[in-house]
Structure 1
């Protein structure tokens, strides 16, 4: 969540605040890198323990969303680094990434916290 607030600040999208100071983009990248590295460790454990499972709706959603997660991360990184993309590309890539993260969370953490059930799964 902190990374998103920093990104909004960097792009001047937070009302009442001036442009972000110079260290903010570096902090934003560092938070993103730490998040990415933690997600790789978690994904490794999931793959070792469970593999890719398409046997049930929840398992299939979680497995496929977990696979698409790294494609969405790569797409967002490419769009951020190459300034020649149209203006809608970054919100689209960021929205895709947030959607995939939400699907992974919904099909695992929310499902678990809701007593092994989630609406629609």
Structure 2
């Protein structure tokens, strides 16, 4: 292999990573700008069986976090970090579907947050929640774009998945857990 071939290959790998990172960054920034500039309506959709839109949001976020934990467990099995005599055939499907369900549960929560509340900064918990919420969707975009790329270093997808997972758990800690510990567990 010629030196110029290696340089092209290295340049291709940078592009493989850089393009998804730029697109994901644009998503996060666009959500943050929208959430900051949009005048919050205070109006949200409620779901029958729940006492308020806030409880809907809290429980959907909790469901998303539960499915994210399932995704983390299945990823650890697939990457051999949790020893199983042999990874069950269903583990990859469980990984994909738990991620899909977690993401789908997060969509109405994000819509509620951005439309009804906007990006707010009146205290540190709310600011962290707002910023990490925008970062979550940017990181998710990066991860989804990286899934279609071949030739990535082996550490890229686990890192992207770890960022998405960490952002989701941080959002849960700064919203649902806060709600459960200050308001109480309710439907």
TM-score by length of 2: 0.54
Instruction: Tell me which of 88, 93, 103 is aligned to 1:20.
Output: 88
Unaligned runs of 5+ in 2: 1-68
Q: Is the 8 A contact 2:77 2:84 kept in 1?
A: no
Aligned to 1:73: 140
1:1-121 maps to which residues of 2 (within 5 A)? 1-21=69-89, 23-115=90-182
Structure 1 residue 48: Cα displacement: 2.4
SS in 1 for 2:88: coil
Larger relative contact order (Cα-Cα within 8 Å, sequence gap ≥ 6): 2
Please give the alpha-carbon distance, in whole angstroms, between the structure 2 residues aligned to 1:103 and 1:6: 20
Q: CA RMSD in A?
A: 2.0
Question: For residues 13-45 of structure 1, what are the alpha-carbon distances to aligned partners after superposition, in whole Å with 9 as ceiling and x for unaligned?
Answer: 321321331x43233212211111110011112
Please give the alpha-carbon distance, in whole angstroms, between the structure 2 residues aligned to 1:20 and 1:11: 13
Q: Which moved more, 1:24-33 or 1:34-43?
A: 24-33
Structure 1 residue 70: Cα displacement: 0.7
Please give the alpha-carbon distance, in whole angstroms, between the structure 2 residues aligned to 1:42 and 1:4: 21
Q: Is the 8 A contact 2:78 2:87 kept in 1?
A: yes
Please give the alpha-carbon distance, in whole angstroms, between the structure 1 residues aligned to 2:121 and 2:138: 19
Relative to structure 1, the CA distance from residue 5 to residue 103 in structure 2 (aligned partners, 3 Å threshold; closer, same or farther) is: closer
